[in-house]
Amino acid sequence: MTITTAQDSERGQSAAPVPAINTKDLRKTYKSARGDVEAVRGIDLDVPAGEFFGLLGPNGAGKSTTIGMLTTLVRPTGGAAMVAGHDVVRDPVGVKRRIGVVTQNNTLDMQLTVAENLEFRSRFFGLSAREASRRAAQLIDAFGLGDRRKAMASDLSGGQARRLLIARALVHKPDVLFLDEPTAALDPQTRVNLWNILRVLHEQGQTVLLTTHYMEEAEELCDRVAVVDHGRVLAEGTVGELKENAGAVTIVTVRFEEQIQADFPERAGVTAMPGVTSAEISGDQLKVFSREPEGLLGELVALGAREGLHVRDAATQAPSLETVFLTLTGREYRE
Amino acid sequence: MATTVTRPGGPGGPGGPGQGPGGGAGADIGAGADELTAASIAALVSDAPTPRPTLAKTFWAMMTREFRVLRRNAISTFTRSVMQPLLFVFVFAFVLPKIGGGMSVAGGGGGGGTNFATILVPGLMASMLLMQGIFGTTMPLVMEFSWQRTIEDRALAPVPIRMLAVQKILAGSIQSFIGACIVFPIVLFVHAAGQAPHVNVTNWALLLVILVFGATMTSSLGLLLGTLMDPRKMQMLFAVILLPITMLGCVYYPWSALHTIRWLQIVTLINPMVYMAEGLRAVLTPSLGHMPLWAVFLALIGGTVLFGYLGTRTFRNRVVN
């Protein structure tokens, strides 16, 4: 897929294919007196136009730093990044002309009203006062902010502010829309409604890069996902591909009435079962990772009974982004 | 298209005022019963106007935004600012002369004593330039750089970050200039009978130039301070910077009168306020001793360039991590 830059359109030339986002070995190291912190350690991304791409990872994984570099607000310390055909270091103004950004924090202009936030952002992008006013009215209606039009941005609730942030990012028809944790701290209903808005935008061909630490958000919205942790991409692909190829496994958890001995998995032959990749003991809990989960739960219960263990409860977790993350990192997903 | 988006609740709903902007959201998006069709959201993409940003258009739009905010806050901003010079001239040019405590200062170049109101006019105008220049630039920056980093709103506009810094300086300069113009009639006309300041403007163009350079220098200093200071230590701004600059800035006495305290006269030369006060003294009350204008302009232009360079540099480093 390709995108045509506004400049190309204005010139009426046939546009050369330009990926929406392309990074090569992108790096960021923060220097401080207490030592350097490698926030991003060489990320390669290739996002074609029209794609809804997700960066999934826990807090501190390097997602926001990556989005910061792509939106020109964080200076890379290595590698290269192009957004809509513009180099983020050499041509930050060119990048900013073609992107819309919904920041993680509420960066609305608190000195302005809802309508003014949209009008002035439109004017920053070259619209006349009349065009800006018309665009603001359109955005206010579409995002259901009509009754808050004259409210100061500082008086909006979190959900309203989030909608206004998204509306503001769309004033100038950006080639790429960046969303940094857009639903963080929102209640479930508000989150689902924002997802619907984002789905519609995507259906209209809007390229979106979303960072999130919500597994279900990435599964719901993204065409492709990169799982990020400690500043590196651990795996990349569609959710289906990740589940299939990234070693995602079913996790069977059995909790017994009694404490389990540490050598139980080996002694009872759990780790030798077909498809089992590993097993963990934590107090009274046995967690088994398997690619062939059929009948596993019954076998574990039977093995436990042979050792004199009585089952309290059990659960099976099918392959998901969460299990992908667990498989890739060997750690519980931390939000 | 099947997707629908729920319309938010009415004005009295959970989205009303009083909820923190960055806090946990209420269920306001889905509170209403009726629904928006996806078509209105879709139209946002299909009907979007083609952006035609230029540096000049964006810069002007940012300035227009500053004027809007300044107009909205004008009464509170300038009322607060005018109180200090108003009270000062009221006490020193009206109350004290009335109760027999009138002051006079021997100017370095003048022969006899000069009433205090004459000393105060240029001094308080310079003080106003500084206060408004600092407050018009530093305070908004401190808020914009606080944890929510609302500075990113403007930083994502399609202009270089240095141009955004210059826009901040210009906006602060305008506020500073307006402040000085407002305070001029106050310090001119508030006084007791017989205590009128002896102001004689022989060159209005020169006065304008000094005000413009003074305003630009103070807002450049404001940019530097706003990008260097830790928001949690803002009280230090008053105690460590503004108070010494004002008290030792030849606001209440001419620089030439300090010749009796030679070391202090030399030390005050590092104070930018001295040059604004002395420059205004040269054009408003030329009969009083004052610094030569070449020294004033050298300091004002040099200060503007120095603070402007350092301020835009630190600004860029704060905005782009």
Structure ipTM: 0.77
Instruction: Give me the residue from A73, A107, A151 closest to B320, CB to CB.
Output: A73
Instruction: Read off the pLDDT band of B13 (50, 70, 90).
Output: very low
Q: How far apart are CA B174 and CA B216, in angstroms?
A: 8
DSSP-derived letter for residue A334 is -
Comparing alpha-carbon positions, the chain A residue that sits nearest to B1 is A200
Mean pLDDT of A310-314: 90
Does residue B312 register a pLDDT over 90?
yes
pLDDT at site B27: 37
Q: How many CA atoms lie within 13 A of A135 on its CB side?
A: 31
Comparing alpha-carbon positions, the chain B residue that sits nearest to A100 is B156
Query: Structure pTM?
Result: 0.79
Mean pLDDT of B240-258: 86
Q: How many CA atoms lie within 13 A of B213 on its CB side?
A: 24
Mean pLDDT of B294-312: 94
Does residue B275 register a pLDDT over 90?
yes
Instruction: Read off the pLDDT band of A99 (50, 70, 90).
Output: very high
DSSP-derived letter for residue B26 is -
pLDDT at site A16: 54
- Going by C-alpha positions, the residue among B218, B106, B238 that lies closest to residue B168 is B218
Instruction: Give me the residue from A109, A147, A190 closest to B11, CB to CB.
Output: A147
Chain A residues touching residue B1 (CB < 8 angstroms): 200, 203
Q: How far apart are CA A323 and CA A56, in angstroms?
A: 13
Q: How far apart are CA B300 and CA B250, in angstroms?
A: 15
Compute the residue count for chain A. Answer: 335
Query: Cα–Cα–Cα angle for B304, B284, B92, nearest 5°?
Result: 100
Our CA-based measurement puts residue A41 at a distance from the nearest CA of chain B, in whole angstroms, of 16
pLDDT at site B16: 36
Amino acid occupying residue B13? G
Model confidence over B196-216: pLDDT tens digits?
A: 778 888 889 999 999 999 999
Our CA-based measurement puts residue A312 at a distance from the nearest CA of chain B, in whole angstroms, of 37
Our CA-based measurement puts residue A138 at a distance from the nearest CA of chain B, in whole angstroms, of 7
Mean pLDDT of A14-23: 74
Task: Determine, for residues B321 and A75 on separate chains, whether the beta-carbon distance falls below 8 Å.
Answer: yes
Q: How far apart are CA A277 and CA A283, in angstroms?
A: 20
Mean pLDDT of A34-63: 89
Comparing alpha-carbon positions, the chain B residue that sits nearest to A164 is B21
pLDDT at site B147: 67
Residues 69-98 of A with CB under 8 A from B: 71-75, 92-93, 96-97
Q: Work out the percent of chain A whose per-residue pLDDT is above 70.
A: 92
Residue of B3, B4, B5 to mutate when probing chain A, most A C-beta within 10 A:
B5
Query: Cα–Cα–Cα angle for B123, B125, B130, nearest 5°?
Result: 95
Does residue A243 register a pLDDT over 70?
yes
Instruction: Give me the residue from B24, B50, B149 closest to A185, CB to CB.
Output: B24
User: Which of A74-83, A261-270, B74-83 shows the lowest mean pLDDT across its residues?
Assistant: B74-83
pLDDT at site B118: 82
Are B125 and B180 within 8 A, CB to CB?
Answer: yes
Q: How far apart are CA A215 and CA B38, in angstroms?
A: 25
Model confidence over B154-171: pLDDT tens digits?
A: 899 999 999 999 999 999
Are B251 and B273 within 8 A, CB to CB?
Answer: yes
